[in-house]
Amino acid sequence: VRFPEDLEDDNTTFNPEYSHQVFGDDEVAFGYKGLKILLYYIAGNLSTRFRIEYTSKVNEKFDCVEADDVESKIREIIPPGFCTNTDDFVSLLEKEVNFKPFGMLLHTYSVHNEEAGEDITYQIYKADMTCPGFREYHERLQTFLMWFIETASFIDVDDERWNYFLVFEKYNKDGATLFATVGYMTVYNYYVYPDKTRPRVSQMLILPPFQGEGHGAQLLETVHRYYMSSPTVLDITAEDPSENYVKLRDFVLVKLCQDLLCFSPGKLMQGFSQEMVMEAQQKLKINKQHTRRVYEILRLRATDMGDAEQSRSYRLDVKRRLIGPYKKKQRELAKMRRCLRPEELTNQLNQIDLNMQHEQLEESFQQLVSDYRRVLERLAQA
């Protein structure tokens, strides 16, 4: 909500992707007809208004069942101090002009908005719990995780090893410059013996109205650049990354790496090298596993897949990496079958497994190439 009229505007409304963490695996609130759970957030400081609407509700006296206590379930997530009526909320909205982003400005960028016909400015800040008012703001901000990250949990904000990176949109209202929350990322700084740290991305969320505009890539690249400048950082990783996060990371890391000398087309065609591992780690804080993916994506760009020899060389190179887990599984199965099956059956079963594994390997390869091509298409448009 930026303006009072947004309260009645369905265009400013967005729905949760998940509700199982609040309403159980079935994602059902029992006992209501026409139930609407309405949460309003002021765009900048995220002051909250909460209300419930329904046309009818089961009655314990007549229906012998009790409706779910929806209000209590929501109150467990949103911090106390929220509004319950419109007037209080609108009076808070009038004070929004005083809201300013927390922490240190790291990056400013703009995105062209077709609808508005103009460039809109965004800024990325790094904050911590010492910033006045940030603790309370973060309590409101993290409530979005429950609706948009499948396995979300709230973090221990008293642990000083957390860093917070925030994205805001700058906009004008009655001649004043205001800020709207776009998204954020939390990063935990793990200790690595003897004197290094390994920042690990924990949670990342771009709010639905801003998704698909490139903010995730801007945020991840800014965070990488922030840690790259630190001599004490070993490399940057992520905790339990989703499929979408991996695709985003592929794009950002390839964008960062493509100009390194070790990833020149000539060197890419010679195969994955220790030089790539060293340079990516030292200059960009990228670990060996992620560097290997970057190499495969950039080598695909440098490879003429219409050339039979180049195509075969690329396919074998990637499959050699992919086959590792299959070979390990094959060795384990062989050991088990020596103990459990007659010898003549073992060879036959192993052969069936091998055929199946070849199919799975080819399928994995084709899927990977498809993902890599999407990264290269996005890179070409960047």
- The residues annotated as belonging to the active site are 239
Cβ count within 10 A of residue 142:
21
Please return the burial class of 359, using the count of CB atoms within 10 Å of its CB with bins 0-12, 13-18 and 19+.
Answer: exposed
Give the containing element (helix H, strand E) for 83.
none
Phi-psi region of 250 (alpha: psi -120 to 50; beta: other; left: phi over 0): alpha
Q: How far apart are CA 302 and CA 85, in angstroms?
A: 60
3-state SS record for 158-190: CCCCEEEEEEEEEEEECCEEEEEEEEEEEEEEE
Nearest to 289 by CA among 256, 246, 255: 246
Name residues whose C-beta falls within 8 Å of residue 45's C-beta, 6 or more positions apart in sequence. 96, 99, 133, 137, 140
Q: How far apart are CA 140 and CA 130, in angstroms?
A: 17
